[in-house]
Amino acid sequence: MQITPTMRRATIDDAAAVLQLFDGAIAWFAEIGNTEQWGTEPWSTQERQIARVEEACALPEAWVAVDGSGAVCGFIALGDAMPYVPAAPHPELYVRVLIASRDPRVRGVGRALMTLADERAREMGITELRLDCFGGGTGALVRYYESCGYERTSTFDEGGWPGQVLARSLAR
């Protein structure tokens, strides 16, 4: 049975649930042989990643998707561009973090969160969104964002981690 999640603002209290989403994704990546993106160690055991998720949950534009039982099944944090990518020449909203449950009952929650990003940008009068993602492996993640209407703009290397920056214009 498909569950339609609801969206609400995230708080620091959601960090543990968001870390569990990352842990689930990392376990799945390990199963399919993608250990380059985030490694194999659960984020919930890494101080650096715990702090990163707590910081993201505290952002003013951090949102969680929750299923019918109130369990967190997705997370998005919007804000300024990450420090390792060039600043945009005009106002933008940057998708800093996006993670969704692998549970098939909430399939599509990532796209729902991306739609929320579009809505938040429009409410702010912003017509461009950007994000970055893992640009290595099979390229499946880049293709996912392209299927959400984003276009490749530039690449970068962050300490041996290949990244891809993508942008989406809402003005079209």
- Tell whether 13 is covered by a domain: yes
Return the CATH number at 23.
Answer: 3.40.630.30
* Count of structural domains within the chain: 1
pTM: predicted TM-score of the whole model, two decimal places: 0.93
- Tell whether 1 is covered by a domain: no
- Tell whether 39 is covered by a domain: yes
Which residue range forms the structural domain that includes residue 58? 6-169
Rounded-to-integer distance, Cα 92 and Cα 95, Å: 10
Q: Which of 147, 166, 142 is nearest to 37 (CA)?
A: 142
Full DSSP string of 24-43? HHHHHHHHHT--TTT-SS-G
Is beta strand 128-134 parallel, antiparallel or unpaired with respect to 6-9? Answer: unpaired
Rounded-to-integer distance, Cα 86 and Cα 38, Å: 22
pLDDT (tens place) for every residue of the chain, 172 residues total: 677 889 999 999 999 999 999 999 999 888 888 777 778 899 999 999 999 999 999 999 999 999 988 999 999 999 999 998 888 888 999 999 999 998 888 899 999 999 999 999 999 999 999 999 989 888 888 999 999 999 999 998 888 889 999 999 998 6
